[in-house]
Chain A
Amino acid sequence: MKSYVAQRLGIAVLTLVGMSIVIFALLRLAPGDIVDILFSTAGYVNESEKQAILKELGMDRPYWIQYLDWIRQILTGDLGKSYRYDIPAWDVIRPLVPVTIELAVLSIIVAVVLGVPTGVISAVRQDSTLDYVLRVLSLAGLSMPSFWLGMVIILGMVSWLGWIPPLTYVKPTDNFKAHAIQFMLPALAVGYRSSALIMRITRSSLLEVMREDYIRTAWAKGQAGRVVIWRHALKNAILPVVTVIGIEFAFLIGGLVVTETVFNLPGVARFLVQAILWRDYPIVQNLVMFIAIVVILSNLFVDMLYGVLDPRVRYG
């Protein structure tokens, strides 16, 4: 087991290095840089002033030196200085991370709470009207753009209730009710989408397991249907679901970006879009690497969990 983990970690490190090169190169491919944008907020352009600022930011050095400098900084725990805000990147990102994490966790919870039970019902009542209805509803969730869902929710609220959720972050300790509303609505919008995938996997996985011989044997032996399902089938069907939850976490980021934008939540995902538009290289590079690390770690964790939950899988 240990050598497997070591091997996976080694590969993960290599992958991360590769990603860092890709993101570094892609960003510099983009036309315009922070200095162009700064000048655009001033409405004019001046070449010599531009050169001076490029020098001040260290952007006039050859690319490979800038890249190595960045890597060196990360390894020493220094996330660099935001080009836009002139303060350490970590100071800018730090207050945003808990918001996104909370939203992500809540969304996953909503997705599981919505997806697993409906998947079970759908599998048990396979091909019935209920099954079709649930499948169509969940597919609808997968098909709707989450930003549209968010927009419709907010516009509906303001039209009928004359009220919108808070626009600046409300700490749960300050006003729990407002905080709950602030997070539950976007969590519902994002979670609905993820629940669709979880529902489908739960359903298909459960169906496959239910066809297995040992299940049929248990039925033949006369054990009550429900007991059979809960004790035997679900235990084994849960594995792919866990995998999907892990993968969904990565897909979640896309939904979080637009949801945070529409609901005005001060999270990391919304901030990433702004940072890309502003060509704030230190922030974008570090945020993307952070996301990549989270994704890789979550994949590794899911694989480990797989190994623990499924006795058939062993890592020699």
Chain B
Amino acid sequence: MSRMRASISLAIVSLVLVVALGTPAISQTPKSGGTLNVTQREDLPQGFAIHETQTSSTVWPSMPCFNNLVIYDPAKKVESLDTIVGELAEKWSWQENYRNLVFFLRKGVKWHDGQPFTSKDVKYTFDMIREAPDAPAKLRINPRKDWYANVDKIETPDANTVVFHLKRPQPSILMMLASGYSPIYAAHVPPANYRTSCVGTGPFKLKEWRKGEFVEYVKNPDYFVKGRPYLDGLKYVIIVERGTRTAALQSGAVDIPFPGETSKTQSEQLKKAVPQLVVTPVSENVNNNIIMNIKKPPFDNLKVRLAVSHAIDRRALIQAVYQGGGVVGAAMAPKPHAFWGLGEKELEALPGYGKAADEKAKAKKLMAEAGYGPDKPLKVEMVTRAIPVYVDMASFVINELKQIGIESTLKQIETAQWHAMAVRGEYQIGANLTGLGADDPDGNFYENYACGSPRNYTHYCNEQVQKMFDQQSQEVDQKKRLQQVYAIQKKLEDDAARPILSWRIDYFTLWPHVKGLIAQNNVYNFGRMQEVWRDK
């Protein structure tokens, strides 16, 4: 009898111990209070006007001020349709076979100036972005108009309900709405005001933006999530010099780095100097690629384009330019870092992923077939942006191309002229970086590969592939859609539409007292800071 009691007590004790020790750190109780210093890599280009820019320099310091309809769960590292949770929307549901999307909004939410938040604000925001004919306001610059090209009209049956009527089914639209790039603007604030200050519904209220120096936030006492935010305030310190940024993080002058700016070597350096720092490698959803002007010779010739793709040793590039801090992948970010990308096995079959010597031999053969050779080398001008990381990548590529008989000179284009030059097709070949606001095929394919899209710098236009884009966009069965997206990625690489060289990995390094900030696989989406707290 006593033995049985002993065993039961032992079992109970073990159970208790297992529960106590085995439970993950979520049981660590968040503490309220304190402030954190966050790195900002340059002064905000257009203030808090997220809808008029497409850069993390705006999104990262502005997200604390705003809310979306929905957002990617801040506790999950990899984003997908399954990790989307509500922010200003409590619930949502698809109707009519993914043709209508109904959002049921939270009640009692207030803007930072005290005005009530209603469905009117949602309709106002998205009508403005998609440039609806009866939109009451207009954005001076509108980079993501095409994200909502499929929206037919937006209805607000009452103050707490919004209905998006789509022209055709598009399950992905939720992915765009969850991105950091989709905050809700206030209908009673002119969009131009967001360039100088911020009126949002978010967890933090803007206290001061001292130009060139910092952006300071204080806790929003009326935030609709009780008990949040944990922090009393945030300070985004603007540090332009890269060396000074590293020194700042190392010395603790800042607690949180700028997303996407910490290389593998830097994190090793930081960790060596301060062993208690916590490093989390995470995909940035930013890739390096080669753009080639398909409209003009010599890159209108598929053989030459494929030769370029074969010639560049992707893995060597990752080693050379990123000291190993990157991964290979095709048009979508690869597994396990993201959802839609081709894995290592499928990549093997694509141009550029085999053994370096074999690939270069294939490339030389293609060049010969195209009419070039040792006695007739191909001379081109490679363009890239006048930014160190672009230049490093371009230097490497130039070296690779040299080995297959392509002589290139490097021309650095200043930021102000880059996009105009690329859009107008005034270049031959270029080394480029592309960041994607959401890990979703719709956003990526339509922006970068669709006929006539302003950001389709290569002017690649293939009717058959276009149809494939439309097909996958309407596909409601996720498994089927995945296969279709795989097929598109293969086709794009086989066409050398925009050979992807690598996907960047950020070695996000935090001080250990920063809790609740999970770096997500997209630099544009995890800046809300709602769940972040200080342990010390």
Judged by CB atoms under 8 Å, the answer to whether A and B touch is: yes
**Residue ranges of A at the interface with B (Cβ–Cβ < 8 Å):** 31-33, 36-46, 49, 52-53, 56, 84-87, 92, 95-96, 151, 154-155, 157-159, 162-164, 166-169, 261-264, 266, 270-271, 274, 279
The A-contacting residues of B in range 28-60, CB under 8 angstroms, are 43, 45-47, 52-55, 57-58
Interface size for B (C-beta < 8 A) is 48
Indicate if the CB atoms of B419 and A44 lie closer than 8 Å: yes
Chain B residues near A168: list those with CB within 8 A. Answer: 210, 213-214, 235, 237
What mask results when residues 145 to 176 of chain B are scored 1 for a CB within 8 Å of chain A, else 0? 00000000000000000000000000000000
CA distance A262 to B244 in the complex (A): 7
Contact assessment for A43 and B140 in the assembled complex, using a CB-CB cutoff below 8 Å? no
Complex CA–CA separation, A52 to B415 (angstroms): 21
- Whether the Cβ atoms of B46 and A158 lie closer than 8 Å is no
Extra inter-chain contacts (10) besides given A37-B45, A266-B212, CB under 8 Å? A32-B416, A37-B415, A38-B141, A39-B141, A39-B420, A86-B192, A157-B247, A162-B250, A168-B235, A168-B237
Provide 17 A-B residue pairs closer than 8 Å at the C-beta atoms, listed in order of the A residue.
A32-B417, A38-B52, A40-B415, A41-B55, A42-B143, A43-B143, A44-B143, A53-B140, A154-B243, A154-B247, A155-B247, A158-B251, A167-B237, A167-B244, A167-B248, A261-B240, A266-B213
Tally of contacts, chain A with chain B, CB under 8 A:
130
Residue of B nearest to A166 (CB): B253
Distance in Å from the Cβ of A50 to the closest Cβ of chain B?
9
Known contacts A158-B250, A167-B237, A264-B244; is A45 also within 8 Å of B423 by CB? yes
What residues of B have a CB within 8 angstroms of the CB of A159 in the complex?
Answer: 273
Given contacts A46-B454, A95-B210, contact A38 B423 (CB under 8 A): no
Question: In the complex, how many angstroms separate the beta carbon of A157 from the nearest chain B beta carbon?
Answer: 8
A164-B273 in contact given A39-B420, A169-B213, A262-B241 (Cβ < 8 Å): no
Q: Whole-angstrom distance between the alpha carbons of A270 and B250 in the complex?
A: 24
What B residues does A87 contact at CB under 8 A?
A: 196
- Assuming the A-B contacts A32-B414, A32-B417, A41-B58, are A274 and B53 also in contact, with contact meaning beta carbons closer than 8 angstroms in the complex? no
Residues of B within 8 A of A53 (CB): 140-141
Distance between Cα atoms of A42 and B416 in the complex (Å): 11
Q: Which of B441-499 contact A (CB under 8 A)?
A: 454-455
Contact assessment for B419 and A264 in the assembled complex, using a CB-CB cutoff below 8 Å: no
Query: B54 contacts which chain A residues (CB < 8 A)?
Result: 41-44
Inter-chain contact A38/B45, CB cutoff 8 Å: yes
Residues of chain B within 8 A (CB-CB) of A38 are 45-46, 52, 141
Given A38-B141, A168-B214, A279-B416, CB of A264 within 8 Å of CB of B239:
yes
Q: How many angstroms between the C-alpha atoms of A264 and B237 in the bound complex?
A: 10
B418 in contact (CB, < 8 A)? yes
**Is B454 in contact with A164, judged by CB distance below 8 angstroms?**
no
Q: A265 CA to B281 CA in the complex, in Å?
A: 32
